Amino acid sequence: MAWLGPIVFFELETTGLAVKSCHIVQLAASCENTIFNRYIPPRIPIERLATEVNGFTVRCGQLLLNGEPVSTMTLYYSLTTFIDYLGRFPSPVLLAAHNSRRFHRRVLMRVLEKCSLFEQFKKVVSGFVDTLPLSKNLHPKLKPLNRPDLVRHFLGRKYNAHNAVEKAEQLEELFNYWDPDNYDIREVTDWI
């Protein structure tokens, strides 16, 4: 039996991997062919290793993706429009990300609290699904379990691992391919 409520697949690109201090530079989501994407100018420098992974840099105050300027919005506006996007689905939704427990959920919750938006957020979101342990639970003999390898193994193709929108879309497609049951989903969900 498949999960009845909506699951929205989301991805963050950040200035680094420090959960307590990194800034979000891209927030993207995918659900049922409905895409959300916002670029956010960081207030701290982007770490060199982060740039190597996600392609983001800042020059003269402008956020660049692979050397090309992108249109940005403030963190607060990006979060409020994200909450509005989530509210378009039957509430409450679950948010899903690969490695949600260790990174995505923690970063998103920190910035929601900082912007005093957590109360609004929890009206439309009931929890976070981590697809990393889900993939381990569903396919324990498969190694490694990073997203590019999972996409290659299950969907038979490569994808741009440096684009948050594409990451969210591919994660949604993987999840649908796996078709986990309610027990599997509950096992890897952190409820709000």
**Total domains, the chain:** 1
* pLDDT tens by residue, 26-53: 999 999 999 999 999 999 999 999 999 9
H or E stretch at 62? strand 62-65
Share of the chain above pLDDT 90, in %: 85
CATH number at residue 121: 3.30.420.10
H or E stretch at 72? none
The answer to whether 17 and 50 have CB atoms below 8 angstroms apart is yes
d(CA 113, CA 18): 17
Q: Residue 63: inside a domain, yes or no?
A: yes
1 pLDDT band, cuts 50/70/90, is very low
Put simply, whether the predicted model's pTM sits higher than 0.75 gets the answer yes
pLDDT(151) > 80: yes
Q: What is the DSSP string of 106-169?
A: HHHHHHHHHTT-HHHHTTTEEEEEEHHHHHHHH-TT-----HHHHIIIII-----TT-HHHHHH
* pLDDT tens by residue, 162-180: 789 999 999 999 999 999 9
Q: Residue 166: inside a domain, yes or no?
A: yes
CB atoms within 10 A of CB 58: 17
Q: Are strands 34-39 and 56-59 parallel, antiparallel or unpaired?
A: unpaired
Domain residues for the domain of 57 are 7-191
Q: Residue 1: inside a domain, yes or no?
A: no
